[in-house]
């Protein structure tokens, strides 16, 4: 057993569940806190639903609730608000949002997992705060709730008593951070090793984003340029070259990009090249010099800098992490030490 932080005693974790909740959003954090109890932590975990009844998750699994929201009388140390695929419906459920507000008001820390951030935002609990959510929904969270400062690449974010995490398994990262805060790094490290996960995973969640989806701009000139970048990312796509191909000024091309793509020509081209390089690294064995040349970065060093700047990992680490789980490898490759 490891020494607890001075003054740390039994802590109560309340997990709020509802019909259609994502199963791993619930069980991931619970497993972290339960495992911590084997290594020096003292957590009491309880599951609450609106009326105390069991709920059926999005996976079709039935979850039992320990108590109803009205029966949660004591202040809890951590409130976990999971997400669900039908979050667009959930944010319109006034009774559900009232339950979230009431529980959060009795919690020292409120933590959401994945699209649970939408429930907190709809309840007004993230106004003026920084927040994270699943990478697919970061833009939507910012559009729906402009008072929330969305951090699209964060695995989890803490702002005051509110914590929000990225998609699904990021709830494990968030929970490990809380274990470290409550009982120290040694306990959190022991839990990470026990669960065979990173105590702090490399990179942000940009590395999980979809390939560039080419927008459909109103201007045909810009549409043709975007198509040419996507079709051949290794070609010369400097703003001067693109302006020359389009027969317009550099200033005009730059303005079109900002108006219809929302970013500069250079940044857009680099993003397309980055995603092309990701695809090559995921599916092929080409040397880095070939990947860099084919995707327009020119050199392995330029490729490496772009990966570290945007994804927080090197190209080699990306290839190793995302090409295979290692299952069935002839050399019995071991998983990386998660510590």
- H-run or E-run covering 49: strand 43-49
Residue 250: half-sphere exposure toward Cβ, Cα within 13 Å: 6
The three-state secondary structure class of 204 is coil
Instruction: Check if 114 is active-site.
Output: yes
Q: How far apart are CA 189 and CA 200, in angstroms?
A: 10
Q: How far apart are CA 105 and CA 192, in angstroms?
A: 30
Q: How far apart are CA 202 and CA 170, in angstroms?
A: 12
Rg of the chain in Å (alpha carbons): 23
- H-run or E-run covering 190: helix 185-195
Q: How far apart are CA 287 and CA 50, in angstroms?
A: 55
| Active-site residue, selected from the candidate residues 76, 109, 114, 212 | 114
Q: How far apart are CA 46 and CA 122, in angstroms?
A: 24
Spatial contact of 41 and 190, defined as CB atoms under 8 Å apart: no
Catalytic residue list: 114
């Amino acid at each position: 057993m490891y020494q607890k932080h001075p003054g740390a005693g039994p802590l109560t974790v309340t997990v709020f569940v509802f019909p259609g909740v994502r199963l791993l959003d619930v069980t991931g954090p619970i497993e972290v806190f339960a495992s911590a109890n084997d290594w020096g932590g003292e957590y009491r975990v309880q599951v609450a639903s609106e009326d105390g009844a069991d709920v059926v998750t999005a996976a079709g699994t039935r979850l039992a609730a320990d108590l109803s929201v009205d029966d949660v009388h004591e202040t809890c140390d951590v409130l976990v608000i999971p997400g669900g695929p039908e979050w667009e419906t959930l944010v319109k459920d006034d009774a559900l949002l009232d339950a979230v507000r009431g529980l959060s008001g009795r919690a020292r820390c409120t933590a959401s997992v994945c699209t649970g951030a939408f429930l907190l935002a709809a309840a007004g609990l993230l106004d003026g705060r920084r927040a994270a959510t699943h990478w697919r929904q970061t833009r939507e969270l910012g559009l729906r709730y402009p008072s929330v400062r969305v951090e699209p690449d964060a695995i989890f974010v803490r702002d005051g008593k509110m914590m929000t995490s990225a998609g699904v398994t990021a709830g494990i990262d968030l929970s490990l951070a809380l274990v470290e805060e409550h009982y120290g790094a040694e306990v959190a490290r022991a839990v990470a090793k026990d669960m065979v996960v990173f105590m702090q995973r490399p990179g942000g969640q940009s590395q999980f984003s979809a390939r560039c989806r080419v927008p459909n701009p109103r201007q045909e000139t810009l549409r043709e340029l975007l198509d040419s970048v996507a079709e051949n990312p290794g070609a010369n796509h400097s703003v001067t070259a693109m302006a020359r191909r389009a027969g317009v000024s550099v200033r005009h091309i730059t303005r079109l990009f900002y108006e219809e793509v929302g970013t500069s020509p250079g940044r857009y081209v680099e993003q397309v090249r980055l995603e092309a390089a990701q695809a090559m690294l995921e599916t092929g064995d080409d040397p880095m010099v070939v990947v860099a040349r084919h995707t327009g970065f020119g050199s392995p060093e330029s490729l490496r800098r772009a990966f570290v700047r945007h994804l927080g990992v090197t190209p080699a680490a990306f290839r190793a992490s995302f090409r295979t789980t290692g299952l069935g490898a002839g050399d019995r490759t071991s998983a990386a030490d998660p510590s």
